[in-house]
Structure formats: structure tokens, C-alpha cells
Structure 1
Amino acid sequence: MSAPWSGHGRSPNGHDEGEVSAVTPPGNAGAVDVVVNTTGGSATAAAGFTYVAGAGI
């Protein structure tokens, strides 16, 4: 299973049926689609993850 964010493939951890967790790569503030690919096909959550701007230094 892989889940590409902004073109960066990541291998998430499957914990239980219907549950996936992953570490996202750095990204610009805003919503991005989340695509999960498996051998059985893929599913997309449009705007499924939102990056927020960090605190200014």
C-alpha cells in the first residue's frame, strides 16, 4: 500500500481494517488530496489533508 502526497510516495502503516496512519512529507499550507493505492485499486479523499502554516520566527 502506498499513499502519495504531492507526488511523494509514502508507505503508511495499516493498524486495523479501515484505518491507516502515515507520516506526511513537508508541504505548503493548504489542502491536498490523499490517495491510497492497494493491489485492489485506489481511493482518493479530495482535500483529505490540510497543511497549516507554521509559526513565524
Structure 2
Amino acid sequence: MTENELAKIAVDICYKIHTILGPGLLESVYESAFAYELDRHKRNKLPFSNR
């Protein structure tokens, strides 16, 4: 994965968080939301083996 692809993922996650939560919350809230969404994104991208 390139730096540009990683940056796009980060910006998309930040945009989603800001759209849902809005402005004015503590930074720790946004950090937690970002970590949660990044974890979800990584789990969705894992290869699935049906063995």
C-alpha cells in the first residue's frame, strides 16, 4: 500500500467521523473514533480463506 493510499484512507475516516460526530468534542473522542474506524477498515480488508 502506498503513502497516497494510506493518506486517502485516513482522510476518508476523518471525514466520516467529522460528519457523524460534528465539531466541538474533545480530541480524545476523535482519536478513539479514528482508532475504531481504522481497526474496522483493516478487518474488512483481510483476506478470507474458506477452509
Q: Which has the higher helix share?
A: 2
Common topology (TM > 0.5): no
Question: Which has the bigger relative contact order, CA under 8 A and spacing at least 6?
Answer: 2
- What is the TM-score of this pair, normalised by structure 1? 0.22
Say which one has the larger Rg.
2
Q: Which has the higher strand share?
A: 1
